[in-house]
Chain A
């Protein structure tokens, strides 16, 4: 895959996650006790043998850049190649500028794409959580002689699970995309696009220039859907575990999915690990009165209370007598003595004071925003 350049496109639908993405892009959303969403796609690219990755930013990317820095943790701090942050066009910073679409941002970074030594490009978002090696999909792309290969997964409906603003594919027998639509509402299943595609560099440059020249700025709608007849667009089926983070509810659900040992093991293989920015934390400390079951616990936690069906991120404190059930507690949050939480997501550095009782519902989880003291 050294002939493939990775581009992580941060232009994603995050409307239904605004309580969690108010101050960070979706890609920087904490996930799974120690990761951020972007870790999955970055690690997948690196584990597949891609060693040049550009991150196409959109807005509010301070926390993301803080997370990525030199790219060293993903083995992307290189003398040549490695990690590149692709900034937005200058006029985006003016208050009267209107967001037109991701192609404007691609166009702004056309030099980076043209200059790269790779002939193929893998473009992907950050909202899909999975552990995938792209070599099979790349081979598929070459064998079919495709102009564009989209990755998708056939998802059967599951109770309580929906996909929001998902790309739905209709395929002919050959695997060629016959039709494609972005479903505005929520759907239960189907051939769900993974917001990942492979394209030759020359073809990508052509699409960007053609679209921008006609005042078209939406990659999926105008770069792909409009061109379904013009280009050979194929779809590669992925069959492993995947979660699509497109709403608070799907975020909550995907985190709790990790408590199933078979999902934990398939997502976090030691041969193809998910890398992340590290922090020197001591192992989690369980005290005399700790009672923890069916939970995921990161390093740096100190637990004196009860934790069930929950995820604790790095550096969380659960004081004596506190009870945390069906909840997600992000980095450095403190749950003081005798507080009780049910179906709650605490963002980073939240403090729940002694004796408080907070509860959401399994179908409508309560979100406490960053640094809030309750």
Chain B
């Protein structure tokens, strides 16, 4: 059963800078945007791009991620031939080994990939927020007869040093790759979206596996080796919204990005729906005393207080007289009557007691106020004050 292109999604990362939120949760499973988890974007992109064979490489705290993906039916990826496969590390006759790096994870699953014998392999990250048609990138890869194509996006100059930067010739050919350069020559950042001609990739993965000095990473080892080997490497420009949320601040910010009346990432686009599980809640209820502006509110919420510039996941309760501003409130959390929450991430099932104050520091420059975070199921008693920037677990 030969496929033209199969995808491998790297979903084993810990996302250690997300702290309390990723203590028991792999980063791709982090809730985002009022109903999604990060991996929904990548899986929905695969579906819309016509890619029906997707391996998901998991390793760190995979329980919730595995049960979330299930048979893949939520993304229409439960297929007779192909579909979604969860690929954690496994034990072989020679012993068991963890995935040492992104390239190693793919190499360990070469026999999975060979079942479908695709001509091209799409390598993706499971924790980026964007809507992208990979089939257009595959067309570009084929047309330019490249050995590898790397999707790039323009980032602000001053942030370029946080990314892998591609230096390209005028025809789009990559001449140099610098991982997190101190002095970037360019602002074209790698999005962690790669298409490889599989035969070529296989050769480099074999070499890389034998190299004991390698950290077995695409960005650090395999891409530079392919460049050094003279392979044809192309940069593919992407202009849409793309975000890699590495920190609690950037996760908060990406949620806030959705709240403008015309957000960069349109979640209402009927032609490119982002699929996810849909909990069996009824529509949310705005009570007589409720007030909601500039916000996203999901099913099952009961709102008796004021919600301003916030993202509310399913089943959230906001009591009478409570105020929730500039915040992200994850599933089934409860904001008690009269509580005040400002610039915070409230984890799943967390409870803010009546009259408590979470965050809400006021200074001359509001942007400098740090995000306050309550981890999963943290309970704050009544009339407590949790100062801005606190992270509670």
Contacts and interface: CB of A to CB of B under 8 A. Distances in A.
Interface of A: 32-35, 72, 258-259, 261, 264, 267-268, 270, 273-276, 278-300, 302, 304, 311-313
B297 A296 contact: no
B286 A280 contact: no
B291 A299 contact: no
Interface of B: 33-35, 73, 261, 267-268, 273-276, 278, 280-300, 302, 307, 311-313, 315
A107 B26 CA distance: 55
Given A280-B276, A285-B296, A302-B268, A292 B285 contact: no
Q: Which of A267, A278, A302 has the most CB of B within 10 A?
A: A278
A33 B283 CA distance: 6
Contact of A283 (B286, B293, B298, B315): B298
Given A278-B278, A283-B298, A299-B298, A261 B283 contact: no
A244 to B, nearest CB: 19
Contact of B295 (A276, A286, A294): A286
Contact of A287 (B268, B275, B294): B294
9 contacts: A32-B283, A264-B302, A281-B273, A283-B296, A285-B268, A286-B295, A290-B292, A297-B286, A297-B297
B292 A292 contact: yes
Which among A267, A282, A312 has the highest number of chain B CB atoms within 10 Å? A282
Contact of B268 (A267, A282, A293): A282
Contact of B33 (A72, A283, A298, A311): A283
Closest 7 pairs between A and B when the two form their complex, measured CB to CB: A282-B267, A283-B34, A33-B283, A273-B280, A278-B278, A298-B283, A283-B298
A258 B287 CA distance: 11
Contacts of B291: 291-293
Contacts of B296: 282-286
A258 B288 contact: no
Contacts of A278: 278
Contact of A297 (B267, B283, B294): B283
A174 to B, nearest CB: 39
Contacts of B73: 72
Nearest to B277: A278
A270 B286 CA distance: 19
Given A268-B281, A292-B291, A297-B297, 18 more contacts: A34-B282, A72-B73, A261-B302, A264-B282, A270-B281, A273-B281, A283-B35, A284-B296, A285-B268, A286-B294, A287-B294, A288-B294, A294-B288, A297-B283, A297-B286, A298-B283, A299-B283, A313-B283
B68 to A, nearest CB: 15
B283 A287 contact: no
A280 B297 contact: no
Contacts of A284: 284, 296-298
Contacts of B281: 268, 270, 273
Given A32-B283, A284-B297, A293 B290 contact: yes
